[in-house]
Amino acid sequence: MITPDQIVKGGIELVGGLLKISKERKTNQPMREREQLCHALRSIYFTPEGVLDLIKDIIDGKKVAPEKIQRVLTRFNDAEWGVGRQLQMLIYEERFQSLSVSLSTVRQLDEIRNGKLNVRRAIQEELNGFGQPRRKVDVEALKKLRKDVLKLNKLIEDVEEKLNYQAK
C-alpha cells in the first residue's frame, strides 16, 4: 500500500524533473536559434561553382556550353522557394525580439536578407536570357554584380562566424 508520504515524495520528484527539463530547453533555445540562423546563412551563400562560376566565365569571355548555362540557371531559379524560406529566418522584426543575437547582428542579418533579394533579382535579370539569340550581356553590369555577390558572401561569412559556436 502506498502511503501519503510516498505520493508526496513522488510528486516532488516529478515536478523537479519537469523543472529540470524546462530549464534545459530554455538554456538550449538560444543555441538552437543561432544554429538555425547558421544553417539559413549557409543555404543562401553563393558557392564558387554555379552562378558565380558562370558569371566569371562570361566576364572572362569564355565560350560557355549551353548545357552549363541551362544547368546553372535551372538550379538557381529552382532554388527560389527554398531561398525565400531561409530568408524568412532573417526578418528584422523576428530577430529583434530575440536575445540570442545582438542588435548589431540583427541589423547585419537584415542587410544580408535585403542584399540576397536584390542580388538574386539582378542575377535573374542579367542571366536568364543569356545564350538566347540577339541577347547581349552587359559585361560591366556582370562585373559589378559579381563584386556585389562577393561582398554579400563576405558579410554572410562574418555573421555566420559570429553565430556559429561550433566552428573552430
pLDDT at 157: 94
Q: Residue 12 contacts by C-beta under 8 Å, 6 or more apart in sequence?
A: none
pLDDT value for 15? 55
pLDDT value of position 62: 92
Long-range residue pairs from 160-164, CB within 8 A, at least 24 positions apart, any chain: 160/38, 160/41, 160/42, 162/105, 163/34, 163/37, 163/38, 163/41, 163/101, 163/105, 164/34, 164/35, 164/38
Res 116: pLDDT? 93
- 61-85 pLDDT per residue, tens: 999 898 998 899 999 989 888 888 8
Say whether pTM exceeds 0.85: no
Please give the chain's pLDDT, 168 residues, in tens: 666 666 656 556 655 554 555 444 444 567 888 888 899 999 999 998 899 999 999 999 999 898 998 899 999 989 888 888 888 887 767 666 677 778 888 889 889 999 999 999 999 988 887 767 777 888 999 999 999 999 999 999 999 998 887 776
Q: How far is CA 128 from the centre of its chain?
A: 23
* Res 3: pLDDT: 67
**Does residue 167 sit in helix, strand or coil?**
coil
Quick one: pLDDT at residue 144? Answer: 95
Cell 527560389 sits at which residue? 80
